[in-house]
Structure 1
Amino acid sequence: MKKYLKYIALATFGAIVLSCDNYVDIKTEGRLIPEETENYRYLLQNSYQFDLTYGAVDVASDDISFQNGTQTTELAASDYYRPFVNLYKWADQIYFDGEVDYNMNGMYSALYNSNIVINEVMQSKKGTEAEKLAIKGEAQVHRAYIFLTLVNTFGKAYDPATASTDLGIVLFTTPTVSDDIRRTSVQNAYDIILSDLNDAVNSGLKPINSGTNVAFPSRASAYALLARTYLYMRNYPMALENAEKALAIQSTLNNYEDYEFNAFPTRRFDKELILSKWNGYTSLSYAPQILSLSNELISSFDTNDLRYVLLTQPTSSFNSNYTIGRTYAKEGLTGESRNGGPTVAEMMLIKAECLARAGSGNLAIAEINKLRQKRFRASQYVALTATDSKDALIKVLAERRRELMGQGGFRWFDLKRLNKEPEFAKTITHAFAGQTFTLAPNSDRYQMPYAPIYYDYAPNLQQNP
């Protein structure tokens, strides 16, 4: 067990909450016998640990704007919000020297258990091969999600010309005792992600998981994450193929008009949610203080759009000091944190974007209109039209921004991939406390810096410039 203890320390650079004793207890407590298949199912039952995403990057995007002088004064003085303010300013250092990155720690903690399952379950006892394969498939979906999220947070946007040399992330795939913690390439990360997900779709996962099981991977979620992965790789034909496979399994949308005077669905009742991945490092108060939406984003909405009506609120609704603009406020409706997992709506947006890029603008707009019909009152819905496929692509990307605003890092990751295309490359400006900060397309600041504390445990970890 010393190997596991050392691995845990290395895997999260010395700051993880798991312990070797916890692993022993899971494998021996009560009637459980070490090395039985059932143990690995129990290891994956801790959905709270796996049901996490890296939500901090949302504040770095052009969706967010701190507009009020009183607001910026309070934010600047707050220790709790300081990392988010540093992200908003694209600072060289986000955390103080002694602070850990809780978003990253949580994901590497989940990676540890994923790797145990992936590496051990097929050799376990008292389980059928089908049971073992499905358990492994679940762990592979979790690992793929972790690597995809982290490589897009800390690594460069995928570029086939440079991915094999671009710095990615630390890729732990087995319990290891190596002290030499180094980042591998972006290509290495994507190779593992694609391998894991392609294995998972053939592993015997349930087609759909919903209700109390929505945090457990399904076959639809594996296809959905393949679609997202290929989108970030800008491999649009493969993104389209996998989005359609996900939608062939799960395609129900919520009708927002149903929730105008009724409770908005939580994750258990969200028919669109394919796999829950919530941002656990936030409280309910996170949204009004930090997710103050930019005028550019807000002005893109039709004010009859129920996403505008229900999911955004005036900042003054939450705190008298926040008197300018609107904030992303879904957390106030559900009492839950924001979701970064795949949804039916995301798959429809991927499908539409890929169709537009393939020259099928009419089909792309038709797909977007199916989504928009569920986002307006029936009496106020007006279908979008496009003059050609290029116009359709522009409108699809605008719809994607509105639908996925303020959650899961979607806009930040989109900015990174779209900066690779000159027609969509964008310079972002953030103002804060009398200063103006500018982020150029493909800037090194699109790669988040590692917290300094990790160099106490990993001196060879390469920092982003």
Structure 2
Amino acid sequence: MKKYLKYITVVALGTIVLSCDNYVDIKTEGKLIPEETSNYRYLLQNTSTLDKAYGNVDIPSDDISFQNEAQTTALGASDYYRPFTNLYKWSDVVYSGSEIDYDMNALYNALYSVNIVINEVMKSKNGTEAQKVAIKGEAEVHRAFIFLTLVNTFGKAYDATTSATDPGIVLFTTPTVSEDIKRTSVQEAYDVILSDLKDAVNSGLKPVNSGNNVAFPSQAAAYALLSRTYLYMRNYPLALENAEKSLALQSTLNNLADYEFTSFPSRKQDKELILSKWNGYNSFSYSPQILSLSNELINSFDTNDLRYVLFTQPSSNFNFDYTIGRTYAKEGLTGESRNAGPTVPEMMLIKAECLARSGSGNLAMAEINKLREKRFRAGEYVALTATDNKDALIKVLAERRRELMGTGGFRWFDLKRLNKEPEFAKTITHVFGTQSFTLAPNSERYQMPFAPIYFDYAPNLQQNP
């Protein structure tokens, strides 16, 4: 993997040099060493490298169902789509032979850049201390997002009793291509994530970024990712505290009724988006039939819900041979891929869940009703009610699934954490053609296997069972 990581590094450096060749000095041994503080600012301008997520992790969840015969025939016959079908089947091997996990590569490519900034910017020249601290804070938010995404994709769900020994991810915190490649524990990954984000919230970041700057971390984004992190750790008091801090800075919702007959806002126009983290222009951007939705998810919607009306369409709209079900179609409204970055609705849902878990079911329902009111036409909105705190929690989790469907790995990561609670543990079944596949709660298949090619270069990298 040393050799392969060097290849990734060369690609990363090539991207940076192309973007910033007027500002960056390339020193000996091919190492990128910007010396001026402004150069680190330019490194973080490279959003084509940093604005990335792990898109494939949506496929194995119970949100997705490949139920059209033409779809399974096409997917099953395509080498290109093999990793997608393997993920859908929870196969032991997702990538075969020399196939590369491009999502993982993209995140480690981004990690190399942000590690340069984190490790070197404070020693740079001709910048104020405040400028350096803020630049480092931005890079720390990016790194925390990368590690949180990867540890939840390849590691087990956080468990305070086992995470110190549960295998996590390769946790590079310096821009190196020479060290031995081994997995650290899940706990070690979370320790770095929390340290980065706690540092970032006090680093002088702008309170909010929007428009052309929505891919740059803000203080609201740092608090939002802290909230998400604590949610995945099932530390609900701290998840609530940080969700409220994020919402205190950014809380505007889109009214979906405003977009039923006009263009839907792009990322740069989206008032709900706190930090852009998207999957790029991959196959999902223009082949939304890949993300055909399960009947269970679709049947949970009120058909007057504008998320149902706008963000899902009959699968037949995408292929005349598809006669069954509905497909996630929000990408078609904007021409942009799915976002995994934090949003105002995500923070509201975290707040509502934590309130329900703390015994404040009425406040939890008020929070999700505030969200739902913006998801219906004015004359068709009906507030949800709950009989008790447990019923409130159930309704909040159902709302979370509807609001965050098909994007960012939210449902897959939720299944992993909720499997730790017997009342929410769930067995999933996927049907592919004539075959049926079942995933038990807490199965080892919740940890994505690494592509075999990496073991050619990293013999000490531990594979998931």
Asked if TM exceeds 0.5, the reply is yes
What amino acid maps onto 1:38 in structure 2?
A: S
Question: SS where residue 436 of structure 1 aligns?
Answer: strand
Once the two structures are TM-superposed, the CA of residue 290 in structure 1 deviates from its matched residue by 1.2
1:119 maps to what in 2? 119
Q: CA RMSD in A?
A: 1.6
Q: What CA distance in whole angstroms lies between the structure 2 residues aligned with 1:464 and 1:456?
A: 16
For the Cα contact (< 8 Å) 1:306–1:376, is it kept in 2?
yes
Q: Distance in 2 between matches of 1:42 and 1:171?
A: 25
Cα distance in 2 for residues equivalent to 1:30 and 1:49: 18
Match of 1:236 in 2: 236
TM-score, normalisation: structure 1: 0.95
Distance 2:55 2:456 in 1: 25
- Offset at 1:30? 3.0
| Identity across the alignment (%) | 77
In structure 1, C-alpha distance between the alignment counterparts of 2:438 and 2:129, rounded to whole Å? 54
Distance 1:25 1:68, change over 3 A: closer
| Aligned residue identity for 1:257 | A
CA distance in 2, matches of 1:377, 1:437: 39
TM-fit CA distance, 1:48: 1.4
Report deviation, 1:24: 6.3
Letter in 1 for 2:56: A
- Name 2:339's counterpart in structure 1: 339
Q: How does 1:248-259 map to 2 (within 5 A)?
A: 248-259=248-259
For the residue of structure 1 that corresponds to 2:283, the secondary structure is coil
The aligned runs of 1:181-330 (5 Å cut-off) are 181-280=181-280, 282-283=282-283, 287-330=287-330
Q: For the residues of structure 1 that align with 2:278 and 2:204, how far apart are their CA atoms?
A: 25
- Count residues with an aligned counterpart: 457
Q: Give the letter aligned to residue 109 of structure 1.
A: N
CA distance in 1 between counterparts of 2:397 and 2:6 reads 38
Calculate the TM-score normalised by the size of structure 2.
0.95
Contact 1:284 1:332 in 2 (8 A): no
User: Matched residue of 1:327: which SS?
Assistant: strand
Cross-structure match for 1:351: 351
Change in 2 beyond 3 A, CA 1:285/1:321: farther
Q: What is the deviation of 1:435?
A: 0.7
Residue in 1 that maps onto 2:30: none
**Per-residue deviation at 1:79?**
2.0
Q: Once the two structures are superposed, what CA deviation does each residue of 1:18-63 show, in whole Å capped at 9, x if it has no partner?
A: 2556656777x33666400011000000011111100101010000
Per mean C-alpha deviation after superposition, the further-off stretch among 12-21 and 396-405 is: 12-21
Alignment of 1:5-20 (within 5 A): 9=3, 12=5, 14-15=7-8, 18=11, 20=13
1:417 aligned partner, one-letter code: R
Aligned mates of 1:155, 1:50 — CA distance in 2: 22
Q: In 2, distance between residues paired with 1:143 and 1:286? A: 29
Task: Work out the CA distance in 2 between the residues paired with 1:176 and 1:305.
Answer: 49
Where does the alignment leave 5 or more consecutive residues of structure 1 unmatched? 1-5
Q: Measured at CA, do residues 276 and 20 of structure 1 come closer, stay the same or move farther in structure 2, by a change above 3 Å?
A: closer
Is the 8 Å Cα contact of residues 180 and 458 (structure 2) preserved in structure 1? yes
Unaligned regions of 5+ residues in structure 2, if any?
A: 26-33
Quick one: structure 1 residues 286 and 429, their matched pair in 2 at CA, closer, same or farther if it must change by over 3 Å?
Answer: farther
Q: Is the 8 A contact 1:284 1:335 kept in 2?
A: no
Alignment match, 2:22 = 30
- CA distance in 1 between partners of 2:217 and 2:97 (Å): 36
Report the CA distance between 1:13 and its aligned residue: 7.3
Q: Is the 8 A contact 1:287 1:331 kept in 2?
A: no
Shift of 1:175: 2.3
1:78-117 mapped onto 2 (5 Å cutoff): 78-117=78-117
Aligned partners of 2:16, 2:210: CA distance in 1, in Å? 28
| Pair 227,21 (structure 1): closer, same or farther in 2 beyond 3 Å | closer
